[in-house]
Amino acid sequence: MISAGKTKLKAVAAVIAFTLAAGANAKVTDKDIINDQATTNDVVSNGLGPRGQRFSPLTLINTKTVKDMRPVWGFSLGGEKQRGQESQPVVKDGVMYITGSYSRVYAIDAITGDELWQYDARLPDGIMPCCDVINRGVALYDDLVIFGTLDAKLVALNNKTGKTVWKKKVEDYKAGYSITAAPIVVKGKVITGVSGGEFGIVGKIRAYDAKTGQIAWERPTVEGHMGYIWKNRKKMENGISGGEAGKTWTGDLWKSGGAAPWLGGTYDPEVDLLFFGTGNPAPWNSHLRPGDNYFSSSRLGIDPDTGKIKWHFQTTPHDGWDYDGVNELIPFNYKDGRKTVKAAATADRNGFFYVLNRENGDFIRGFPFVDKITWAKGLDDKGRPIFNEPVRPGNPALSKDGKKGSTVLAAPSFLGGKNWMPMAYSKDTGLFYVPSNEWEMDIWNEPTAYKKGAAYLGAGFTIKSINEDYIGVLRAIDPKTGKEVWNHKNYAPLWGGVLATAGNLVFMGNPEGYLMAFNAKTGEVEYKFNTGSGIVGSPITWKMNGEQYVSILSGWGGAVPLWGGEVAKRVKSFNQGGMVWTFKLPK
Ligand code: CA
Ligand code: CA
């Protein structure tokens, strides 16, 4: 009798789930976003929750069952515009929302793979994305789908129709600004950074009322520029950020100082702070701007209500290697004896992994996560790098003809020990899963001057691989000890995000085209499937009608083929594409 009752209940539950899948309750609230990680029936934010841990508690697909996983549908992004697909899908009430290259958005029926609508941003001719025409995904809020465009706009679309509800110009694309990151929504505000550090833009973070598009605050990330709370456009108290021009910069260089927070942010409700990273100071030629060049190549703890910088931690002061400090800072707690440490971790382009106190930005520990770092000898007790001066590219002003400084061989290459591709943190194993690359570069400096809308580097470079048989390395790293628990080497450089699950699995795609699942504890490959083009997107997982699904975008591109120097040759045979693949276990 009891079991018959249970069956009946199950049937009712299935009907409810199916009704929800039809989009009956499609509004996303602040609570939905905060709780995103725990609510496995949807993925409503970038990073599977504002902390960006990219961890799912789902266990149906696990080390025992994953071998049976198979694709259930594929969706083509179509058109001629098949370039790098770096988007992370989100899913709400049975509808998947993704972005594609060239600032396109798609709504897809998550059960069948049928297209519901498509939005194309119709970009102007003069856009200036540095590193392929990519986009990394949307934010959901209320009944809106919000994303940033390559001409530096923020666009909010109705989730049912794909029609524009509001559109705001964040910055001037003709000056080199663009947006490629997924925005983050915190307490009703949609918050975005900007790209453009290679064009001497002024890095800034903007917050808008997510429902109306009304601007709330602006926080420039170059010292010398003031922040504003937009109500009355009042100059704000800047706290430790100061606002003094020229303090850590030389002359007027702060006016075109770069420090673009181009990868978007994470948020931790426990300490109520936003975490954004900032890119390289402009230009790359560091001899033109002696000083630490705040707040370039840093992580910032920011008040989400006002934009005030509460703390900053600079990973590469006076950067001379394009070691953008934008990589995601992931909040996590760990036990130190009986004490709970409110920490956050990040794996920097410069090759060091940092564990910070996320309440105040204090350095807890740091260690190399790649095999070869030559630009620094290590970190001091405050986490500041100990520079290896001979590995700073030479000053062109000291050369015979003044045109080219001495070339140095530096590791990692400017594309980084890790680039934008997000790592994952598993609460179960206590490990971070870091997609890293082993490469180095010849780099030299040249004279340069700022000109609006022109590349502003003052440097030349060639990226080289270090090892014959691999560049990419997926690493499982213990943040308490710095110990590498396992690694998986990959021939091509890794450029896609990672997902960890309570099924003791780690998912990641590679440029060779495979979606792979690894045993989270041992690194053993438990599953692989070739998607037909290189993967540079980030996987998600969710539950629908009682089944666990996994989705990922496939579509080779991004910065490696464009900037990779000798390494680009290694990947030149990889085919382009543009697909979403969705997997589950057979019934
Ligand atoms: Ca969720
Ligand atoms: Ca850069």
- Cα(94) to ligand 2 centroid in Å equals 37
Distance 65 CA to ligand 1 centre (A): 23
Give residues with Cβ within 8 angstroms of 528, minimum separation 6: 514, 515, 516, 517
Taking a C-beta distance cutoff of 8 angstroms, is the pair 574, 532 a contact? no
pLDDT digits (tens, 9 = 90+) for 220-234: 999 988 888 887 665
Classify each residue of 236-260 as buried b or exposed e, where b means 16 or more C-beta atoms within 10 Å of its C-beta.
bebeebebeeeebbeeebbebbbbb
Give CA separation, 267 vs 56, 329, 428, in Å: 17, 9, 21
Ligand at shortest distance from the CA of 55: 1
CA of 190 to the centre of ligand 1 (A): 18
Distance 305 CA to ligand 2 centre (A): 28
Question: Measuring CA to CA, which residue among 505, 471, 485 is closest to residue 431?
Answer: 485
Q: What are phi and psi of 240, to 5 degrees?
A: -70, -10
Q: Could you give the C-alpha distances from 290 to 30, 204, 251, 253, 254, in angstroms and in order?
A: 43, 22, 10, 10, 11
Ligand 2 centre from 235 Cα, in Å?
29
pTM, full prediction: 0.95
Centroid of ligand 2 to alpha carbon of 521 (angstroms): 34
Ligand nearest to the CA of 131: 2
Ramachandran angles phi, psi of 540, nearest 5°: -130, 165
Ligand 1 ion: nearby residues, β-carbon < 5 Å:
36, 39, 42
Residue with tokens 């308490």: 480
pLDDT tens-digit map of 314-332: 999 999 999 999 999 999 9
- In the chain, domain spans: 8-584
**Ligand 2 centroid to residue 391 C-alpha, Å:** 18
Which ligand has the nearest atom to the CA of 542? 1
- Distance from C-alpha of 172 to C-alpha of 156, rounded to nearest angstrom: 19
Q: Note the CATH architecture for domain 8-584.
A: 8 Propeller (2.140)
- Would you tell me how many other CB atoms lie within 10 Å of the CB of residue 170? 22
**What local confidence, expressed as pLDDT, does residue 48 receive?**
98
DSSP, collapsed to helix, strand or coil, labels residue 254 as helix
Residues with a catalytic annotation lie at 322
Starting from the CA of residue 28, give the closest ligand: 1
Low-confidence ranges of the chain (pLDDT < 70): 1-25, 80-81, 232-245
